A and B are shown apart, each in its own frame.
Chain A
Amino acid sequence: MHGKALPYLLLMPATLFLCVFFLYPFVLVAFEALTRDGAFTLDNFRAMAGSWKFPVTVRNTLLLAAIVVPIQLVMALLMASVVSRLETGRSAALYIFAIPLGISDLAAGLIWLAIFDQSGFLNTLLAHLGVVDRPIMFLGYQSKLTIFIAVALAEIWRATAIMMVILVAGMGLIPKEYYEAAEVFGAGPWKRFVRITLPLLRPSLQTAIILRVILAFEVFAVVAALGGTNLPVLMGETYNWQFTLQDRNVAAASALLILAISIGFTLFFLRVLRVPKEARI
């Protein structure tokens, strides 16, 4: 009897914890988003969508994800393939590539602020090269495009590592024999990559893309550090509704929207990149 109860006893703390701090807040956030003063209403969503900033906010967030994630996917694939072909210094290269994993998004924003700031390193470089005679204001309220580029670069810099790590782990599972066989039949490196690595990497690609896309919709501190309020994104607006505008219900509606988009994309990628059971290694 003791043996039967033991696993449940061991799981209980974690399960209870997740129920109270993961499932219950979900119910709460949905409830807050759909009510105001105790009555069911869609007003919170109307207030959110009615704000003049809302279309820009959604556009910025989606555009950022649409630009950043594909570039990161390519870079992560490049990093992973390069590392897997390296004979010496493999673990050092892996460690260096993985460093941004441990760096906070706020710190990443500040790192790129050091580069893009008016008295920053990019302007210094441009001045040394004689391209500009006066430092350019990259992050002013009038230069939305450069803010966008700076945020995109910081995001690419920060979060490529997480995809790379998943892909490296996935590449390690592909049997070497496949490559040897392909080489015998005369397949070049590119062909081997397209015909063997990519198809067999599909489960890892799926995980990496889903994780990264969700993180992309959560972009917040990088934007706050680089653009302030000049580049509104969904998470930042949610924060604004909660604090600057002191409206919990609309903040909850905004949070629910981010959740809905995240779940929508998760299901989309689960379907598009699904791997049949028989095709798994």
Chain B
Amino acid sequence: MSAVTQTPAAASADARKAGDWLLIATVILLGVWVLLPIYLLIVNALSSPEQVTAFPKRFFPAFDTGSLSFFINFAGVARALWNSVLVATLTMILSIGFGAPAGYALSRFDFPGKGTFRFLVLMTRAFPLPLLALPLAVMFIRTGLDDTAIGLALVHTTLALPFAVLITFSLFSGIPVELEEAAWTLGCTRLQAFRKVILPLALPGIAASAVFAFTISWNEVFAAAVLTIENRTLTAFLLQSLGESPLYLKFAGGAALVVPALIFIFAVRKYLFAMWGIANR
């Protein structure tokens, strides 16, 4: 009798256990799918040029800096790295500088035209923005912005600005207006209240969205390749030398692109989901 009553319970416990194992196995499998290709690139980057072109390959890095030092000393690479950092920094400054005030305005005021502005910002998400580099190339030649870091940074800012606006909007919305109002009643001006009360609270989030803007620019390929000739960024440099560069240069370059990106993503991991979740509603 007792056996009959126990069996369903035991079966469901078994099923649950099997389900748990399946869950863990799936997570591990998906994790390997994401990490293994990156690992293989790093193996290549940490091998000597001969090992990279040799066959068959080793699945473990030889910790040889041959490829990397070849890459760093290759003509144009150091400059391309510097240009990438410069453009990304400018993009970061521009997108936060323009985006954060807009985000604050959206979170604190109700005014005619608010809907239109939000629509304009959201619309940018529905267009392949790097294409805009094509007409801008002509405009930049006329205005002397062609082949400059600031010119490219302006285009990258169109990519990063919508994120900056939406992210700072949600950041400021999360800080109670009452805090600001309390500061006003205690004699602060609007600017003082913002600087002394709101800014310290919002700063970590703003920093995260700045890192995000930096990463967007750091990774962008098409506009960078269209708009730069002499002052190529790392992505533009790698793209334009794909045809002739040896394998070990490509892999070392790929690693040089990936490793900083991994660090950026790790630095903002706490905000990653909030940001993408919000930025795409």
A binding-site residues for B, Cβ under 8 Å: 4, 6-8, 10-11, 13-15, 17-18, 21-22, 25-26, 28-29, 32, 75, 78-79, 82-83, 85-86, 89, 91, 93-107, 110-115, 117-121, 123-124, 127-128, 135, 157, 161-162, 165-166, 168-170, 172, 189, 203, 207-208, 210-211, 214, 217-218, 220-221, 224-225, 228, 235, 238-239, 242-243, 248, 251-252, 255, 258-259, 262-263, 266
CB distance from A205 to the nearest CB of B (A): 12
Q: Is the CB of A252 within 8 A of B134?
A: yes
C-alpha gap A236/B34 in the complex (Å): 26
Distance of A187 from chain B, by nearest CB (Å): 15
Report whether A18 and B161 are in contact in the complex, using a CB–CB cutoff of 8 Å: yes
Given known contacts A82-B26, A86-B23, A102 and B55 CB-to-CB distance under 8 angstroms: no
A11 to B40, CA, bound (A): 46
Question: Which residues from chain A contact B225 at a C-beta distance below 8 Å?
Answer: 239
- Whether B135 contacts A32 by the Cβ 8 Å rule is yes
CB distance from A10 to the nearest CB of B (A): 4
**Within the complex, what minimum Cβ distance (angstroms) separates B83 from chain A?**
15
Decide yes or no whether B37 CB sits under 8 A from chain A.
yes
CB proximity of A275 to chain B, nearest CB, Å: 12
CA A101 to CA B276, docked complex, whole Å:
10
Roughly how many angstroms separate A6 CA and B57 CA in the complex, as a whole number?
63
The docked-state distance in angstroms from the alpha carbon of A78 to that of B33 is: 13
- Which B residues are within 8 Å of any A CB, using their own CB? 19, 23, 26-27, 30-31, 33-35, 37-38, 40-41, 43-44, 52-57, 59, 94, 97-99, 101-102, 104-106, 108-109, 111, 113-114, 117, 120-121, 124-132, 134-139, 154-155, 157-158, 161, 165, 190, 215, 218-222, 225-226, 235, 238-239, 242-243, 247, 250-251, 253-254, 257-258, 261-262, 264-266, 269, 272-274, 276-278, 280-281
Tell me whether B136 and A21 are in contact (CB under 8 A).
yes
State which of B52, B120, B220, B269 has its C-beta within 8 Å of the C-beta of A104. B220
Q: Are A262 and B128 in contact (CB under 8 A)?
A: yes
Q: Which of B23, B134, B242 contacts A224 (CB 8 A)?
A: B242
Task: Give the dominant DSSP class at A's interface.
Answer: helix
CB atoms of B56 and A127 under 8 A apart: yes
B21 to chain A, nearest CB (A): 13
Task: Identify which of B57, B218, B250 contacts A113 (C-beta below 8 A).
Answer: B250
Among residues of B, the one whose C-beta sits closest to the C-beta of A31 is B135
Q: Are A96 and B35 in contact (CB under 8 A)?
A: yes
Bound CA–CA A124/B52 (angstroms):
12
Q: Which of B43, B56, B161, B220 has the most A CB atoms < 10 Å from its CB? A: B56
